[in-house]
Structure 1
């Protein structure tokens, strides 16, 4: 095979001129007034906020891998961002705080620009003419959703860029002679791009699946090629495995290594992680604690399963039920987490003054809250939120000097299978022993689950006493232990040191579970069946009688969808003809259509259909990687149509320009929604090309004179920030919370 690389340096002069012209146009289109709006837009709330936390080193939990967030943080840091601006609300002004938001937006915008030449080069690798390759690049450029998404501090532009880089590298790899330097280079670049794609969002797994499917297909074809010796076949297999499996895994793990290096301080995401994980943070590294727990010990008790935190109480009462003192689960260290272990039969004895009597399996204890002197208590009343018959309320009851009652009694039930083998399976030892607390009167087990209490309990996690609860949610252990009469040489214990691989594995699990838990309906969500025909978009921002609304170029979307349908119909027709004895597959044009269009249709399908299996929140921007491949597919199909049907250059040129003209017209018509430009209500209504599009035309005034000079005027640069419109913050809330993160509930709120 002759090498047919589409590196820029190897292009003919006319292609170099075309790609430079198209890239220059992309800079103008994608960076046009990048400074507006000069306030927080859409999920800049989250991804800008994560940059703040990276710079401060404060741990957070997000459902997406870290690469794009690290790049955005780097851009902000180099531009002077100090991390003090919190990106808390959509509409919050950047200018007053001197935030270098333009530099941060330039990172995804620049990657969005680079997608355009990559599109051209990829189409050239598929054998397209310069004319149709230019058409494909310009269809990507004048796609409104891709333009809008690339202009803000969001993750989808980096995702599309690395997806496009993968497609470019993989298409070129398939054109190289085996085992030449260019073959190795493009195979390595494919693996590196796959690692980067999946390190931005897990949607990159679909890109990996596409490369994997085509790799298996290629290896199968090589297996049937008798010119390929077993040794050569083994070499093909080995290098594909190294570059397409090992390289992406190493790159992905490296990004998390950088992530952990940056986030060394406690933060809002602590509560998602295990105690061992949290112990690796600065200021959370626990001092060694006595191993053996005795009557009279002051202890903190942690929930084992939900990672919700410590058994906690505070001087606030339930508004209903018993109206006794609240008992909750709280994820942060606090004096209100401290409990005194009492012998249920000797509560009047000052156990802290006596020699220690160590707790063992089967002991019946009372737990007195150290700050309020009330004891852990349960009774046959329903909890405040989970009102199931098998759940009882847990409260703190009593007062200083009161001996308590039988409803304060809990029996220790050590779980040998969960505890460290040896002494921890017989006696209660800090950290090592996992146990249940069984209420002696009702037989229920102290229990907690991922249910948040209302604001009157500061949205802390509910604690109940469950008669039928699952075992993991009723398992507890002691983290802190202190007794004044323990001998000075008493054995001390601490969490085992957690290395990178254990932290990495735990974070992947938490990300997966949190991602799967984003199932609540949202005003701007949509389902996959609505994406190919562009049923609706997403409202990003409303302010100053302007709006940013994510909506695609309906012509590009419908054209790409039509191309997919045509491919499927063509495939069905050729299969039927093959069954009837026609040998269409021997025709070069059919082979090209089946192979070059087909590989992009497969890529589209693998980036689209898996979303039908997801119950989580989904939005239009989840379709963008699939859209990219759909555009490539329809352009390759158009190229083959021009070569084999239209044939005449003049007709081909006119038809291609006609397609592009329609796309540009639609782009310009909808562009005020991408750029947040002044618009009138009538212009907005006329641009509503589909009746079910739900952008808000009442946002706009009846005529342009309603915009004052300060609102319309071009903005200027001051002290590294871009100065523009100023107004009160919008009350519009973030359309999508992908972080899985909640502000830490605190008693004093």
Structure 2
């Protein structure tokens, strides 16, 4: 719309009234598509109007609708949330992260920490002490008394929160209350969203926060004609809570905006849409670092400087001078593979000599002795220390096995290419070795604050390369894991050419018997918060980018359009949880883009003629697939009928054939749980008891008649007087 004159002028010229404006009382329950919005009015034109007084611009009808929707969402999202009572799908990961937070053990994950912190908080409030490892799908929650319901309530609450967000977003975008109610209802009964929000997963927080951001942006956008007013600031700041994005392009092309006004817009958006989101993002990582202060299984992803900020991974000050005869550990620079390592296991092929690998943890098998091959006749333990200088030829002897670092013209067992040579440990105690044990030190980089580290090896300060004197290749490692015979450790080879950074090494630990106690010492510089933040986010990005292998449950965008398959979350005790969207909602949204014009015309005509729309079909399809969301009893025949598409791979064979079998199974489980040994003592001696077969037949008949089936527990059946008398009453009375 071209706003060359005020909305008041437009009303006068069209002979219209304020009733035609959006967010007013809607005539005939539909919105006039040509009616201007109240947000096209200037403040002077609408300030006395009743519809402007509400801060969120909704009326009593909308508040009633929201109350109804939230109540229904509460029931749908929380129904049987305690089922199943065992670990489901990715609760393995995100429940496990809560355990590590509580224990303070550092871990690495590709997701930012906020949602995981919220799950941990819910667990703490529920009494979780970190004594459960969430190790595998199906692991029982009840015996170790895990407050899993409290932890599931966090994503479930955000799933409920999404409902009013969706309603208000549609309403405040200029559509009717009916349209808003329809959208919110579709989201309530979306089977996939229900399934995701009922378990300890990150999907519900992600969707809820994204929806919140969109809602705040809509509120901010609706205040565009009243910039720098209190509401304008509030809604832009709230958008900044969830959004680090700015959009000044439209303003730049608006001739009515002066450079001064544009600059004010720029700085306002910079504060609310950049500073606030970045500050919150940093705050959550600050909490993350404050909690995870101990060494954990995520250390290996991080740099040595980062690792040494963690308790249990700190290092004593080391002598900075490196001499022949020093006992050292050598660490790789470019990957996080760890230390040059050997152990008493041989390669299965190639030379079959002892393995050389990179190992990410401190270990005695990481220790080597620097031996002088430049002047081999000088014993290192009988003279003053001789520094290792650039160009010196050395041998590295493994302290535990007495074998020396060795290379030859043999292909590696994994990277079997011509330009790569195998690196092994060769020899034995007392053996003089051969020329394939010789390596030349080449200093590549040094610490600018330590000039001596440019001329000779200095602990931590010198980065160097080791060149094999016979073949000319360089000691090399890359992010390639060896098979199980090497315990999945990182491959080490000798490369001709190759990536320069992958041939760089440095000395971390260093000791020498002839060095005086007061010799110069060195240690890692502890990184500050922002350096740690940048490094962790870089590792998260690289790790996520490296997840290129296919997964049994992965999917492609082409399959999302028609919902060709879902994801099996859990299967146990003849029941299952299977992530599958509501087909009616899913498919109708897919085709909405193609049928919008036709649908819009039909809806307007129906509204003019007084027809009303109903949501029975959506609720029916939700109930049809709800057994997979709630792990409710489901018989094979109904499960098979629900397979509308052949590619839906949920398993129907694990279900019983009749509901009577479920009833019998429940009774059996109750007997086992309660240790019932003599059930006759608890059964009434009335002569007209109802048998299990009769009650099971009742439930099956009720189900065939599309009545709601209620499974009674054993005590209810035994203690109900009407059942004792053999009277089959209406199920609602039961």
TM-score interval (norm. to shorter): 0.7 to 0.9
| Residue 43 of structure 1, aligned match among 62, 81, 90 | 90
Q: Distance in 2 between matches of 1:472 and 1:419?
A: 19
Q: Which residue of 1 is the match for residue 251 of structure 2?
A: 219
Q: 2:214 aligned with 1:254, yes or no? A: no
Deviations along 1:23-81, one digit per CA (max 9) or x if unpaired, are 01001001110111111111111111111111111111111111100110111111111
Q: Which residue of 2 is the match for residue 337 of structure 1?
A: 366
| Residue 478 of structure 2, aligned match among 445, 449, 452 | 449
Q: 2:511 aligned with 1:474, yes or no? A: no
Q: Distance in 2 between matches of 1:5 and 1:299?
A: 74
Q: 1:711 to 1:423 in 2, by over 3 A?
A: farther
Q: Which residue of 1 is the match for residue 354 of structure 2?
A: 325
| Residue 674 of structure 1, aligned match among 629, 637, 640 | 629
- SS at 1:280 equivalent: coil
- What does 1:58-77 correspond to in 2, within 5 Å? 58-77=105-124
Shift, 1:406, TM fit: 1.0
Q: Distance in 1 between matches of 2:441 and 2:66?
A: 73
Q: 1:141 to 1:5 in 2, by over 3 A?
A: farther
Q: Which residue of 2 is the match for residue 747 of structure 1?
A: none
Q: 2:223 aligned with 1:178, yes or no? A: no
Q: 2:316 aligned with 1:287, yes or no? A: yes
Q: 1:649 to 1:375 in 2, by over 3 A?
A: farther
Shift, 1:349, TM fit: 5.6
Q: Which residue of 2 is the match for residue 235 of structure 1?
A: 264
Maintained 8 Å contact 1:6/1:172:
no
Deviates more, 1:156-165 or 1:75-84: 75-84
Maintained 8 Å contact 2:446/2:453:
no
Shift, 1:336, TM fit: 0.9
Q: Which residue of 2 is the match for residue 153 of structure 1?
A: 200
Shift, 1:672, TM fit: 1.0
Q: Distance in 1 between matches of 2:570 and 2:103?
A: 27
Q: Distance in 1 between matches of 2:148 and 2:460?
A: 45
Q: Which residue of 2 is the match for residue 30 of structure 1?
A: 77
Q: Which residue of 2 is the match for residue 625 of structure 1?
A: none
Q: Which residue of 1 is the match for residue 24 of structure 2?
A: none
Deviates more, 1:329-338 or 1:127-136: 127-136
Q: 2:558 aligned with 1:529, yes or no? A: yes
- SS at 2:109 equivalent: coil
| Residue 263 of structure 1, aligned match among 292, 298, 301 | 292
Q: Which residue of 2 is the match for residue 616 of structure 1?
A: none
- SS at 1:167 equivalent: helix
Q: 1:702 to 1:319 in 2, by over 3 A?
A: same
Shift, 1:544, TM fit: 1.0
Deviations along 1:662-682, one digit per CA (max 9) or x if unpaired, are 211111111111112221111
Maintained 8 Å contact 2:446/2:462:
no
Q: Distance in 1 between matches of 2:165 and 2:500?
A: 53
Q: Which residue of 2 is the match for residue 508 of structure 1?
A: 537
Shift, 1:551, TM fit: 1.0
Q: 2:210 aligned with 1:125, yes or no? A: no
Maintained 8 Å contact 2:123/2:151:
yes
| Residue 355 of structure 1, aligned match among 370, 384, 392 | 384
Q: 2:190 aligned with 1:143, yes or no? A: yes
Q: 2:241 aligned with 1:192, yes or no? A: yes
| Residue 57 of structure 1, aligned match among 81, 94, 104 | 104
Maintained 8 Å contact 2:446/2:461:
no
Maintained 8 Å contact 1:5/1:172:
no
Q: Distance in 1 between matches of 2:53 and 2:431?
A: 84
Q: Which residue of 1 is the match for residue 463 of structure 2?
A: 434
Q: Distance in 2 between matches of 1:110 and 1:439?
A: 62
| Residue 86 of structure 1, aligned match among 122, 128, 133 | 133
- What does 1:557-596 correspond to in 2, within 5 Å? 557-566=586-595
| Residue 402 of structure 1, aligned match among 431, 447, 459 | 431
Q: Which residue of 1 is the match for residue 647 of structure 2?
A: 692
Q: 1:6 to 1:163 in 2, by over 3 A?
A: farther
Maintained 8 Å contact 2:374/2:392:
no
Q: Distance in 2 between matches of 1:417 and 1:478?
A: 12
Shift, 1:713, TM fit: 10
Q: 1:71 to 1:709 in 2, by over 3 A?
A: farther
Q: 1:389 to 1:711 in 2, by over 3 A?
A: farther
Q: Distance in 2 between matches of 1:61 and 1:668?
A: 39
Runs of at least 5 residues in structure 1 that lack an aligned partner in the other structure:
196-207, 571-636, 719-724, 726-749
Q: Distance in 1 between matches of 2:163 and 2:456?
A: 66
Q: Which residue of 2 is the match for residue 553 of structure 1?
A: 582
Deviates more, 1:233-242 or 1:375-384: 233-242
Maintained 8 Å contact 1:419/1:433:
no
Shift, 1:528, TM fit: 1.1
- SS at 1:404 equivalent: coil
Q: 2:378 aligned with 1:378, yes or no? A: no
Maintained 8 Å contact 1:409/1:439:
yes
- What does 1:269-308 correspond to in 2, within 5 Å? 269-308=298-337
Q: 1:316 to 1:522 in 2, by over 3 A?
A: same
- SS at 1:351 equivalent: coil
| Residue 607 of structure 2, aligned match among 647, 661, 665 | 647
- SS at 1:49 equivalent: helix
Shift, 1:234, TM fit: 2.6
Q: Distance in 1 between matches of 2:168 and 2:572?
A: 39
Aligned residues: 623
Q: 1:677 to 1:375 in 2, by over 3 A?
A: same
Q: 1:344 to 1:497 in 2, by over 3 A?
A: same
Q: Distance in 2 between matches of 1:108 and 1:327?
A: 47
Q: Distance in 2 between matches of 1:353 and 1:397?
A: 26
Q: Which residue of 2 is the match for residue 541 of structure 1?
A: 570
- SS at 1:531 equivalent: helix
- SS at 1:424 equivalent: helix
Q: Distance in 2 between matches of 1:6 and 1:447?
A: 70
Runs of at least 5 residues in structure 2 that lack an aligned partner in the other structure:
1-41, 674-712, 714-734
Shift, 1:417, TM fit: 7.0
Maintained 8 Å contact 1:292/1:358:
yes
Q: 1:38 to 1:32 in 2, by over 3 A?
A: same
